Amino acid sequence: MNPILTVTLNPTVDFSTTTDAVEPDRKLRSTSPDTDPGGGGINVSRAITILGGHSTAFVAVGGPMGDKLVHLLTDAGIGLAPFPAPGETRLSFSVHDKASGHQYRFVTPGPDWPLKSVNVALSRIARAAPRGGIVVLSGSQPPGVPADFPARLAARIRRAGARLVLDTSGKPLHHLLKAATSPVYLLRMDGEEAEEMAGHALPNRADSADFAQHLVERRVAEMVIVARGADGSVLATGEGRWHAAAAKVEVVSKTGAGDSFVAAFVLALSRGESPERALQKGAAAASSAVTTAATQLCRAADVRRLTPHCTLSRV
């Protein structure tokens, strides 16, 4: 199995609770909160552990909340490579409203990063990157981290002999697609982001596959995945295009579905499985994750059970 390093520059401590109904101007009695370590790369590491794999989490942490995050990760059995953040680790809070079934999520921005911290982080990640392994950069960037950070990291990772998996959005994704100077190993985006990048609607699987293939041909990434929500995910590589259907399940919360997908996909690749088989396992993990509440991720037994139901086909 090839080693995996996940990177989270803007982690969070996730608190989640439930109340009978969310109403203004009154005290809302809630259940005892669940507390989880959060942030894209951290969630990928958590899901890899759930699925029986191992990864090391490179995490920027600071202040008392950062100490709490380290304890949560240690308790979860996740290997940790801490990096001193230039401020306090952020806190996120979610409330499930039993009356409406809605979930309310409150997310703070995280500390501002000076350029010096950005450059030191790039060097540290490159040194921590496992030669021949996979580095996963996932989640939001902290304030102050420039949009070209993923592209710069991709170049450093390649020189270190590792492969970069990128799950990002917004300005960093725009920059990567415009620059296309240092192709990443795998780029994943959701349907809305893909349509924004393409400049037009992608109503069916073939449209998503065409766009993903276009990015591969432009050498933006060796492989591109476009998530299509309830319609599953599309993968394009230099060898072909595939679609993996989402399993038909009851949706409780979509939180963590993308991170669970990336975890299962990367874990399968690290074990030597083909990209299309990894796509199917990723779809099963995402399908499992949407059946769990709040900040919970996929479940290993569900992934094994749902994988045959995530039909794999060429596009």
259 is catalytic: yes
Distance CA(222)–CA(228), nearest Å, equals 20
Q: Are residues 11 and 69 in contact, defined by beta-carbon separation less than 8 angstroms?
A: yes
What global pTM score does this model have?
0.92
Mean pLDDT computed over every residue of the chain: 92
What average pLDDT does range 296-311 have in this prediction?
95
Per-residue confidence (pLDDT) for residue 180, from 0 to 100: 59
Report the DSSP beta bridge partners of residue 243: 234, 313
In this structure, the strands spanning 90-97 and 12-19 are: parallel
In the three-class reduction of DSSP (H, G, I as helix; E, B as strand; rest coil), residue 222 is classed as strand
Could you tell me the two tokens for 185? Answer: 């190993």
Query: 204-230: per-residue pLDDT in tens?
Result: 999 999 999 999 999 899 999 999 999
Please provide the distance, in angstroms rounded to a whole number, between the alpha carbons at the two ends of the chain: 29
Block residue for tokens 């994750």: 289
Domain boundaries, the chain: 4-314
201 CA to centre of own chain:
24
| CATH of the domain spanning 4-314, picked from 3.30.590.10, 3.30.710.10, 3.10.110.10, 3.40.1190.20 | 3.40.1190.20
Tell me the C-alpha distance between 35 and 90, whole Å.
13
- What is the token pair recorded at 315? 């596009």
Per-residue confidence at 309, pLDDT binned at 50, 70, 90? very high
The pLDDT tens digits for 254-298 are 888 999 999 999 999 999 999 999 999 999 999 999 998 767 899
pLDDT tops 70 at residue 182: no
* CA nearest to 60, candidates 105, 116, 14, 124: 124
Contacts of 290 (CB under 8 A, 6+ apart): 249, 251, 252, 253, 254, 257
In angstroms, the CA 16 to CA 13 distance is 10
- The angle formed by the CA atoms of residues 87, 92 and 97, to the nearest 5 degrees, is 165
Q: What is the pLDDT of residues 155-180, one digit of tens each?
A: 899 888 999 999 988 888 888 877 75
Residues 295, 36: Cα–Cα separation, whole Å: 7
Q: How far is CA 218 from the centre of its chain?
A: 24
Please choose, from the candidates 295, 276, 260, 299, the residue with its C-alpha nearest in 3D space to the C-alpha of residue 136.
260
| Residue of 14, 36, 190, 259 marked catalytic | 259
